[in-house]
A and B are shown apart, each in its own frame.
Chain A
């Protein structure tokens, strides 16, 4: 059980990070860890930059993850990966969905969306896994399944048995979306 591990799920309000964090919390509890999952609700959710902290281990105290502490960051959007990079440990894993959602300063023309984000991230002392999760989600049956595709990718980096993930997905998502989410998870896990 040992040392506390830290995972951050970052993205844009409305991308479904709440379900992703719920899934993670339930899986980690099923594995017998002490778990804390923390997120901010309210104003930030209105299309703003959102972050969820997931921490697990023998005993977790602080629910928040600070700069240089995350073992893994799962980013639902490219710019958000750049924004939250300082929170990753040296050598940590960065899972990035290769999707661009323009923030308002870019839409109004006040700032430019940075070019070559993935290339720049790869130059850092971190392990970047980039993928087009939106296409995989479409393949699974809905653009909304991006979150579960990315959790699938994350699952391949964690040493928990497949049954635990499957059981947790079944318990966590509504029955009518179960097959869709199973497909999305499998596509991410097999990526």
Chain B
């Protein structure tokens, strides 16, 4: 059946059709919907793992156990899972194993824009890269074939514009595969030095076979057109090239590691000028150059930064593009904001007021860095808030631990915050850690996690207790507060900052966007009572703005959380009941 499908949904469809049985992932934009979508198929076991390393190990275990398996992550997630990746490359697989990594060129929702192709090169595993939703389905299937034929995990690389674009696909039926037999094979699966030495030989031989396969694989194809311009490209860049230069000759690489040599040489010989169009790093370009293939234009024209587009490709090759209509004056930027009713807002207001150093982490609460809250000092990677704070305080000594906190969400704490906390208690630190428990993985669009009591498939499961984990890690001072109770929160923060031992404050209030969170009717500001002091503006709520010198609440945005009411000393902010009464 023909249908319009999101790239991520198409990857999930490909998994279903390919007979995949086990999926384990950690959410990360732009990869999240793959796992959500595949969980809708009863034939596939799918789960959220606490982090990407666990997810990849689950997938590898499932492959060794004889089932086609899969894990998905964003580009930075592959850093976390790099450890199992490099050794899975040695063990190889039993049933096929596919790893999806979704890059985020342009950093729409990421802290860096690393190019994941380097992982395929350094781990010595094949990588395929689809350019639209149909290829997402087809390449997943091809990846399983390669995985089983060559005894290797295969990486499927997507990017934001493939993962989050819908295009038309033709779906097929599921191929139900029997579970493969499992036979104990220490030489293949026990990677102690003596065995690993042998497997490294296998890996290098496998790379040679894969390189030969790349020369004839249908994943790579030539579309000969005008021979004046020849373009070697892959993935989403193929689409930009075809739109900018529909007449040009194109070599589209579906397999981006290992890449063919002879095929590119032959293509290069047939065209007058050869360009390489790729985003981020010159991976294809360097491959050409190392193999003595003349490249007339690559990174010197397209640069190393961000996303390309049909316009950028056309302009870089000297083509005229339409002149944009300009508005003629500066338009205020509209950065993302903490939602109305967000439980993080009160916390960041208090932290900002106390002027403490805030070691931040990855999640919605990263938005607490923006004005007017401006609370965060650092954001690096998952879990770094806690370990980074420990290092900061060890370096500065004195009363540093009395003037600094780490903030980390419930899901991020499960992902990689616990080890940092253990580092603090084990090494006699005094740091104060705030776990912002909003009962969900928020930024990626509401995924369950080990602290929520529900699985990916919404089955009830025991909740992991953040309190008990902290206690077991050796933290004696554990406090739980509602972050909207500003007075109590401030008092607790002062006490715990002063304490000369490690403490954890769990700020607990569910995300305002959760369905089970009941919203109150919107609040209203009495213009007679409003003294224009702008105290209510200090919490940076998008539902409050100034109009004719008075604060006004937008009743289409307000969810009645009452935080602004707590800020007002003049009783100007009223509930609908107060207004009516």
Residues of chain A touching chain B, judged by Cβ–Cβ distance below 8 Å, are: 12-14, 25-26, 29, 34-49, 60-64, 66-69, 79-80, 82-83, 85-90, 101-114, 120-121, 124-126, 134, 143
Q: Mark B330-367, 1 if CB is under 8 A from A, else 0.
A: 11111111110000000000000000000000001011
Check if B161 sits within 8 Å of A45, measured CB to CB: no
Check if A89 sits within 8 Å of B322, measured CB to CB: yes
Check if A88 sits within 8 Å of B161, measured CB to CB: no
Check if A37 sits within 8 Å of B165, measured CB to CB: yes
B3 nearest CB across to chain A (Å): 8
* B411-451 with Cβ < 8 A to chain A: 443-445
> Is residue B300 contacting chain A, with contact meaning CB distance below 8 A?
no
* B297-328 with Cβ < 8 A to chain A: 309-312, 321-328
Check if A47 sits within 8 Å of B542, measured CB to CB: yes
- Other than the given A36-B167, A120-B329, 17 more pairs (CB < 8 A) read A29-B168, A36-B132, A37-B165, A40-B164, A41-B109, A41-B164, A41-B445, A47-B334, A62-B242, A63-B236, A68-B325, A83-B331, A103-B333, A104-B337, A108-B540, A111-B330, A113-B332
Distance between Cα atoms of A114 and B334 in the complex (Å):
13
Q: Please name 5 pairs of A and B residues whose Cβ atoms are closer than 8 Å in the assembled complex, sorted by A.
A: A14-B339, A40-B30, A42-B444, A43-B366, A104-B371
A114 with B329, Cβ < 8 A, contacts A43-B108, A44-B109, A103-B335 known: yes
Residues of B within 8 A of A48 (CB): 334-337
> Is residue B372 contacting chain A, with contact meaning CB distance below 8 A?
yes
> Is residue B556 contacting chain A, with contact meaning CB distance below 8 A?
yes
Residues of B within 8 A of A105 (CB): 332-333, 335, 371
Q: What count of chain B residues pass the 8 Å CB interface test?
A: 64
Residues of chain B touching chain A, judged by Cβ–Cβ distance below 8 Å, are: 2-4, 29-30, 32-33, 108-109, 132, 160-161, 164-168, 236, 238-240, 242-243, 309-312, 321-339, 364, 366-367, 370-372, 443-445, 537, 540, 542, 544-546, 554, 556-557
Distance between Cα atoms of A44 and B312 in the complex (Å):
23
Residues of B within 8 A of A89 (CB): 322
Check if A66 sits within 8 Å of B309, measured CB to CB: yes
B344 nearest CB across to chain A (Å): 11
Closest 8 CB pairs of A and B: A42-B109, A68-B322, A42-B29, A86-B324, A48-B336, A66-B311, A103-B334, A63-B165
Distance between Cα atoms of A40 and B163 in the complex (Å):
9
Check if B334 sits within 8 Å of A79, measured CB to CB: yes
Check if A126 sits within 8 Å of B372, measured CB to CB: no
A68 with B323, Cβ < 8 A, contacts A26-B4, A41-B29, A103-B333 known: yes
Check if A120 sits within 8 Å of B327, measured CB to CB: yes
Check if A87 sits within 8 Å of B324, measured CB to CB: yes
Residues of B within 8 A of A67 (CB): 311, 321-322, 324
Check if A85 sits within 8 Å of B326, measured CB to CB: yes
Residue among B161, B332, B366 facing the most chain A CB atoms (10 A cut-off): B332
Check if A39 sits within 8 Å of B164, measured CB to CB: yes
Check if B167 sits within 8 Å of A82, measured CB to CB: no
Check if A44 sits within 8 Å of B372, measured CB to CB: no
A166 nearest CB across to chain B (Å): 19
Residues of B within 8 A of A40 (CB): 30, 108-109, 160, 164
Residue among B3, B333, B371, B537 facing the most chain A CB atoms (10 A cut-off): B333
Distance between Cα atoms of A43 and B32 in the complex (Å):
13
Residue among B312, B334, B337, B540 facing the most chain A CB atoms (10 A cut-off): B334
Distance between Cα atoms of A9 and B292 in the complex (Å):
46
Residues of B within 8 A of A29 (CB): 2-4, 168
Chain B residue at minimum C-beta to C-beta distance from A124: B325
Checking A85, A102, A103 against B325 with a beta-carbon cut-off of 8 angstroms, the contacting residue is A85
Check if B239 sits within 8 Å of A107, measured CB to CB: no
Check if A47 sits within 8 Å of B166, measured CB to CB: no
Chain A residue at minimum C-beta to C-beta distance from B131: A61
Distance between Cα atoms of A118 and B564 in the complex (Å):
32
A80 with B334, Cβ < 8 A, contacts A35-B168, A40-B160, A86-B327 known: yes
Check if A47 sits within 8 Å of B336, measured CB to CB: yes
Residues of B within 8 A of A37 (CB): 4, 165-167
Check if B324 sits within 8 Å of A68, measured CB to CB: yes
Distance between Cα atoms of A124 and B3 in the complex (Å):
39
Chain A residue at minimum C-beta to C-beta distance from B246: A61
Residues of B within 8 A of A64 (CB): 161, 309-310
Checking B164, B168, B326, B443 against A38 with a beta-carbon cut-off of 8 angstroms, the contacting residue is B164
Residues of B within 8 A of A44 (CB): 108-109, 336
Residues of A within 8 A of B333 (CB): 49, 103, 105
Check if B166 sits within 8 Å of A49, measured CB to CB: no
Residues of A within 8 A of B4 (CB): 25-26, 29, 35, 37
Check if B545 sits within 8 Å of A102, measured CB to CB: yes
Distance between Cα atoms of A27 and B335 in the complex (Å):
32
Chain A residue at minimum C-beta to C-beta distance from B340: A47
Check if A106 sits within 8 Å of B556, measured CB to CB: no
Residues of A within 8 A of B544 (CB): 107
Checking A25, A26, A35, A46 against B339 with a beta-carbon cut-off of 8 angstroms, the contacting residue is A46
Distance between Cα atoms of A155 and B401 in the complex (Å):
60
A134 nearest CB across to chain B (Å): 8
